[in-house]
Structure 1
Amino acid sequence: MSGSTTVTPTIFREYIGMGDYIDHFPDEMINADIKEFHFILCFATETHVDGKGTGLFDSNWNFTNFSPEKVVELKKKLNNVKVKVVISIGGIGPEDTFNPKNNEDWIVNATSSIKGIILNYQTKVPNDDVLDGIDINYEKISSSISDFSNCIGEVIKQLKVDPVVSKSMKVVSIGPTENSQSYYLKLYRDNKGYIDWIDYKFYNQYFNTVDDFEKLFKKLVTEYGTALDKFLVGVSTYEAIKSKTIIEGCEYLLNRGSLVGAFVWDAKPSAPAYTPEREIQKLLAKN
């Protein structure tokens, strides 16, 4: 594997904002011994016309429940843990397919509309850090690989260097799946200086054994040609059987100094509440 041979576990991320069953930032799930915790608000989705993307994004989460003031309150409440809040761009359904009508127009519209979402947070509490970055999370992609990389990469770069919103662009992550791997691999290789985390959705694949999981993990890190400290493992609250093997795989990697962190899709307060979140954070915190 490339880069660091061992890493210290530091980060846990949680997707939130889907559906109506969560109406607040569930900070009760946060382990006080974890070094860094991210809530990822999903999704900012774009308007499509005749099946083609316009690049005009709007937030789908409940703005009142996850307001700028509540983000600031969350961060101040948990000052012993580095808490960040990130917005996720894209979507997981066929209605949110990446398929721009015109690449240049898409880049202009996406940069402007995502900047508007960021400013909607930033200007409400201008003296505080509110949002910390964006997460690229298209699961359905109909464009060419190069168009995806060029369009998304250009938006990331323009927002990163924009003096108005750059303070809210400290973190950029991508969310590959098995089916979208070739798109995100190209995006990462073309823009690795601007992408901080690779959040790979292991929960979309089945593993018979921990050994199967470890083989894929090693293969992916080699393909991305990145250090271990940029690669996170994804677990789902909807896939209990799959999650068991993935969590066991995380423990295996942690015992060998090979895992910097993990993320969960998505926050579900089902009984017992936040079980995978607590289990994974406990593993990360003790290593």
Structure 2
Amino acid sequence: MSGSTIVTPTIFREYIGMGDYIDHFPDEMINADIKEFHFILCFATETHVDGKGTGLFDRNWSFTSFSPEKVAELKKKLKNVKVVISIGGNGPEDTFNPKNNEDWIVNATSSIKGIILNYQTKLPNDDVLYGIDGIDINYEKISSSISDFSNCIGEVIKQLKVDPDVSKFMKVVSIAPTEGSQSYYLKLYRDNKGYIDWIDYKFYNQYFNTVEDFEKLFKILVTEYGTALDKFLVGVSTYEAIKSKTIIEGCEYLLNRRSLVGVFVWDAKPSAPAYTPEREIQKLLAKN
């Protein structure tokens, strides 16, 4: 594995906003001993015409439940919290397949910028300007070429990073590869590694018979991405307890060897209102 060989666990991330069951940020699950806790709002999805993507994004989460004011109040209350918006989607209707690459880049940059700017807000008697902290790239279905995916997504990230209106809200950029999209995200990362902070690999989309199987894939992926361990996060699902059990045991194994910087969870809905998996994983991270 390249880069750092010993890391301190610092980050826990939770996807939220799918469906109507959760109507607030459940800050009761947050462990104060975690250096960074990220809520990831999902999804901002694009409009498609005749099966082709336009790059015109709009939020799918409830703007009432997860409003700019609620983001501001959460971040004022808990200094270790960041809020990120996830771009893409996990359904067949959310496939990455631009009609025209140049138009897609222009539309995507503009529409995502608009979503970010809508979250700028100040609270009463508070001069701090609160807002979103970054974006997460999360397309599970991709029909374009590998190079088109890398070029289009990479260009949008770069433009948002340097845009004077939103650059201050682009502190965090993550990508969320899965087994079927690995080649696309690997190219995206290699072409834009200076702009991407976290690699959130969806281990929960694969089955592992043993912790050794999990560790083997973890090592392969870190080597393939050619990145330091402090950029690579393990994904756990709250939907499949049996499958996640081995992954969590694998996380504990990596933590004991100081090889895991953090974990992300998909998603908050199944574990509400107790949020037991989230609490247990954060305890593991905090004690190491």
- TM-score normalized with structure 2 length: 0.96
Distance 1:269 1:129 in 2: 37
Find the residue that maps to 2:12 and give its secondary structure: strand
RMSD in angstroms over aligned alpha carbons? Answer: 1.8
Q: Is the 8 A contact 1:72 1:130 kept in 2?
A: no
Which secondary structure state, in structure 2, belongs to the residue aligned with residue 180 of structure 1? helix
Change (3 A) 1:38 1:92: same
Cα 1:271–1:59, aligned 2, differ >3 Å: closer, same or farther? closer
In the alignment, is the contact (CA less than 8 A) between 2:7 and 2:260 conserved in 1?
Answer: yes
Shift of 1:215: 0.1
* Residue 268 (structure 1) shift: 2.3
Rate the CA distance shift 1:112–1:125 in 2: closer, same or farther, 3 A.
farther
State the secondary structure of the residue aligned to 1:195: coil
Stretches of structure 1 lacking an aligned partner (at least 5 in a row): none
Whether the 8 Å CA contact 1:68–1:130 is kept in 2: the answer is: no
The Cα shift of 1:79 comes to 3.0
Distance in 2 separating the partners of 1:216 and 1:79? 34
Q: Are 2:231 and 2:261, in contact at CA under 8 Å, matched by a contact in 1? A: yes
Structure 2 gap segments, 5+ residues each: none
What corresponds to 2:100 in structure 1? Answer: 102
Inter-partner Cα distance in structure 1 for 2:122 and 2:88? 24
Alpha-carbon distance, 1:168 to partner: 0.6
Is the CA contact (8 Å cut-off) linking 2:271 and 2:277 kept in structure 1? no
How many equivalent pairs are there?
A: 285
* Aligned match of 2:25: 25
8 Å CA contact retained: 1:129, 1:168: no
Q: Is the 8 A contact 2:53 2:99 kept in 1?
A: yes
Q: Once structures 1 and 2 are overlaid, which stretch shifts more, 119-128 or 39-48? A: 119-128
Go from structure 1 to structure 2 and tell me whether the alpha carbon gap of 1:163 and 1:272 turns closer, same or farther (over 3 Å shift): closer
Alpha-carbon distance in 1 for matches of 2:40, 2:248: 20
User: Residue 276 of structure 1: CA displacement?
Assistant: 1.3
Question: Do the aligned partners of 1:8 and 1:260 also contact (CA within 8 Å) in 2?
Answer: yes
Does the 8 Å CA contact 2:140/2:181 hold for their aligned counterparts? yes
**TM-score, normalized by length of structure 1?**
0.96
**For 2:161, what is the secondary structure of its paired residue?**
helix
Structure 2 CA distance for partners of 1:169 and 1:75, relative to 1, 3 Å: same
In structure 2, the CA distance between the partners of 1:219 and 1:166, relative to structure 1 (3 Å rule), is same
